[in-house]
């Protein structure tokens, strides 16, 4: 198995019948294990579509998605469900925890879906909640926790099945700077410690600049790719900086 955890080949997504809307236009991309990637771009640029495709929530119109070298772009709904459960972890903008479930129970769900026993799920969920600093809030429901705490529960839920990739969609979009930094530190720590791969879609350039690789999408096309080098970023050859490329601290 190669290091390439996700390979996208000429990936397109076209919506609509009659009037076609090209949400994603022949995007090719390779993401390696352990990378900490952010996807940026204006609203409606197709970054969420890209994320949904990588997350196997949606199917591409054309092109291929290789997950750990296997083409999953035409996988059956059940197979995609299985892969989402085992290989992918999701963190959304609004934590999206199930309100009636306690923090512990929310974290247990992916394991229960995977068919793990309740006792095993409970044990591991507790460990993960401890890892995100919520060992004393296991029984709390989402409405009894702060936004940051809920987002940490969501991170624990995304990680608990040891996924290959964790996908974040504006995961700090709803949080204040301090909490947002805390969540970032949490992810970065996991990235260093267990080489966890992260792909985050974000509006927040401050967050994007902390990641190792920034992919910029405009109008469904990958227009720029920036790689971390020392304290700044260097552009790759395909970069077309466009109107707001200057915001990034280039070296």
Kindly state whether residue 85 participates in binding another protein, applying the rule CB under 8 A: yes
Span of 73-81, 193-201, 206-214, 234-242 interacting with another protein by CB under 8 A: 73-81
Of 183, 185, 121, residue with least CA distance to 146: 183
The residue from 26, 68, 82, 221 that contacts another protein (CB under 8 A) is: 82
- Check residue 142 and report its DSSP letter: G
- Check residue 165 and report its DSSP letter: E
Site for another protein in 164-193 (CB under 8 A): none
For residue 83, report the phi and psi dihedrals to the nearest 5 degrees.
-65, -40
Q: How far is the CB of 84 from another protein (least distance, A)?
A: 4
Kindly state whether residue 14 participates in binding another protein, applying the rule CB under 8 A: no
Asked if residues 136 and 171 have their Cβ atoms less than 8 Å apart, the reply is: no
Span of 26-34, 76-84, 129-137, 224-232 interacting with another protein by CB under 8 A: 76-84
Angle of the 147-159 helix axis to the 118-131 helix axis, nearest 10? 130
Q: How far is the CB of 112 from another protein (least distance, A)?
A: 3
Of 157, 95, 99, residue with least CA distance to 125: 157
Q: Provide the Cα torsion 202, 208, 211, 217; round to 10°.
A: 70
The residue from 29, 112, 138, 241 that contacts another protein (CB under 8 A) is: 112
Kindly state whether residue 109 participates in binding another protein, applying the rule CB under 8 A: yes
Whole-number Å distance between alpha carbons of 205 and 199: 14
| Residue 60 CB contacts under 8 Å (≥ 6 apart), including other chains | 11, 12, 13, 24, 53, 73
The residue from 105, 170, 204, 225 that contacts another protein (CB under 8 A) is: 105
Q: How far is the CB of 8 from another protein (least distance, A)?
A: 18
Kindly state whether residue 86 participates in binding another protein, applying the rule CB under 8 A: yes
Residue indicated by tokens 């769900």: 109
Closer Cβ to another protein, 41 or 142, answer by number: 142
The residue from 7, 39, 90, 155 that contacts another protein (CB under 8 A) is: 90
**CA distance readout (Å), 71 to 31, 58, 76, 153:** 15, 14, 12, 31
Q: How far is the CB of 80 from another protein (least distance, A)?
A: 9
Site for another protein in 134-163 (CB under 8 A): 157
Closer Cβ to another protein, 167 or 226, answer by number: 167
**Site for another protein, rule CB under 8 A:** 52, 55, 57-58, 77-78, 81-86, 88, 90, 92, 96, 98, 100-101, 105, 109-110, 112-114, 118, 157
């Amino acid at each position: 198995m190669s290091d390439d955890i996700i390979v996208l080949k000429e990936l397109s997504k076209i919506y609509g019948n009659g009037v076609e809307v090209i949400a994603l236009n022949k995007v090719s991309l390779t993401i390696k294990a352990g990378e900490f990637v952010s996807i940026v771009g204006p609203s409606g640029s197709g970054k969420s579509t890209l994320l949904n495709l990588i997350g196997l929530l949606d199917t591409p119109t054309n092109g291929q998605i290789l997950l750990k070298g296997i083409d999953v772009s035409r996988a059956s709904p059940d197979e995609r469900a299985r892969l989402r459960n085992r290989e992918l972890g999701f963190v959304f903008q609004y934590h999206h925890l199930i309100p009636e479930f306690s923090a512990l129970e929310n974290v247990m769900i992916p394991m229960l879906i995977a068919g793990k026993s309740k006792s095993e799920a409970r044990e591991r969920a507790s460990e993960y909640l401890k890892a995100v600093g919520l060992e004393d809030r296991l029984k709390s429901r989402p409405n009894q926790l702060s936004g940051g705490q809920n987002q940490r529960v969501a991170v624990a839920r995304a990680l608990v099945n040891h996924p290959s990739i964790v996908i974040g969609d504006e995961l700090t979009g709803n949080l204040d700077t301090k909490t947002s930094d805390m969540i970032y530190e949490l992810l970065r720590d996991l990235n260093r410690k267990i080489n966890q791969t992260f792909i985050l879609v974000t509006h927040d350039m401050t967050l994007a600049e902390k990641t190792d690789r920034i992919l910029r999408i405009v109008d469904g096309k990958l227009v720029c790719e920036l790689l971390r080098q020392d304290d700044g970023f260097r552009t790759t050859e395909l970069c077309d900086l466009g109107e707001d490329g200057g915001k990034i601290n280039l070296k």
